[in-house]
Amino acid sequence: MTAYLFFALPEKELSKATELILDFPGGGFVAMTPEHHEERLRMWAVSTGRPILAVEYGKAPECE
């Protein structure tokens, strides 16, 4: 499993963050990875000021 962290504020502010947004981009195990949703995730980080943790998940083993 891979996770991507998006944060718009200076890095030193990350240690002060007490909330984050957890995002599972895509849907139904088929609709792209966080890399494909990068623009949306970056804009979300800017507009909220919170870190965004986007999780990349794979298809269920029986689908591969």
- On whether the CB atoms of residues 52 and 21 are closer than 8 A, the answer is yes
User: So what's the pLDDT on residue 24?
Assistant: 86
pTM of the model as a whole:
0.78
Contact indicator for 52, 8 with CB cutoff of 8 Å: no
Report domain extents, the chain: 2-63
Whether the pLDDT of residue 13 is over 90: the answer is yes
At 35 the pLDDT is 81
Q: What is the DSSP string of 4-32?
A: EEE--S-HHHHTT----EEE--SSTTTS-
**What's the alpha-carbon Rg for the chain, to the nearest Å?**
13
